[in-house]
């Protein structure tokens, strides 16, 4: 458990450094730059990628023995997932009381407003960047949805 907590803290610190690095970049368009351009020169070198991977490897190697066991690899994956879930939860928990109400959960629209370029409250295929889409029926079961052609 100590390794998971240590990995979580390391991941959060790493995420913070990425967030700082992303400042000044449009993260949607330049996610590679935000992730790998360590010196901020808008170029990615092989050395920057290698440096980034070495840093991640050091965080995975919890016992500092120079190798990563499956357990250490798994611990880092668990830490990443926990950090992602915590981040998502915190975005939804508007009043920061540690609990989601139905109103908080259903009200959150994420990036909807930034995608809805004409502000009409509906996303078209053009606004979503997929061009024209064939007419189809959408079927959902809880959070899983799929589309079937009307043909």
Q: For position 121, what pLDDT does the model report?
A: 87
Between CA 112 and CA 97 the distance in angstroms is: 24
Cα 146 versus chain centre, distance? 23
Q: For position 53, what pLDDT does the model report?
A: 93
Question: What is the enclosing helix (H) or strand (E) of 6?
Answer: helix 2-22
Q: What average pLDDT does the chain have?
A: 77
Between CA 7 and CA 16 the distance in angstroms is: 14
Q: For position 137, what pLDDT does the model report?
A: 65
Q: Could you tell me what percent of the chain has a pLDDT over 70?
A: 67
Question: What is the enclosing helix (H) or strand (E) of 63?
Answer: none
Q: 138 or 55: which carries more pLDDT confidence?
A: 55
- Digit-coded pLDDT (tens) for 82-116: 999 999 999 999 999 999 999 999 888 877 877 88
Between CA 23 and CA 38 the distance in angstroms is: 12
Backbone angles phi, psi at 145, to 5 degrees: -125, 150
């Amino acid at each position: 458990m100590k390794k998971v907590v240590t990995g979580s803290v390391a991941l959060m610190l790493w995420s913070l450094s990425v967030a700082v690095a992303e400042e000044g970049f449009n993260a949607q368009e330049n996610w590679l730059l935000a992730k790998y351009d360590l010196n901020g020169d808008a170029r990615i070198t092989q050395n920057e990628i290698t440096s980034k991977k070495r840093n991640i490897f050091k965080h995975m190697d919890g016992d500092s023995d120079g190798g990563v066991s499956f357990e250490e690899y798994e611990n880092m994956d668990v830490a990443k997932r926990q950090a992602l879930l915590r981040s998502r939860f915190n975005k939804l928990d508007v009043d920061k009381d540690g609990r989601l109400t139905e109103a908080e959960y259903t009200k959150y629209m994420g990036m909807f407003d930034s995608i809805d370029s004409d502000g009409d409250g509906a996303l078209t295929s053009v606004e979503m960047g997929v061009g024209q889409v064939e007419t189809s029926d959408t079927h959902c079961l809880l959070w899983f949805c799929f589309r079937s052609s009307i043909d």
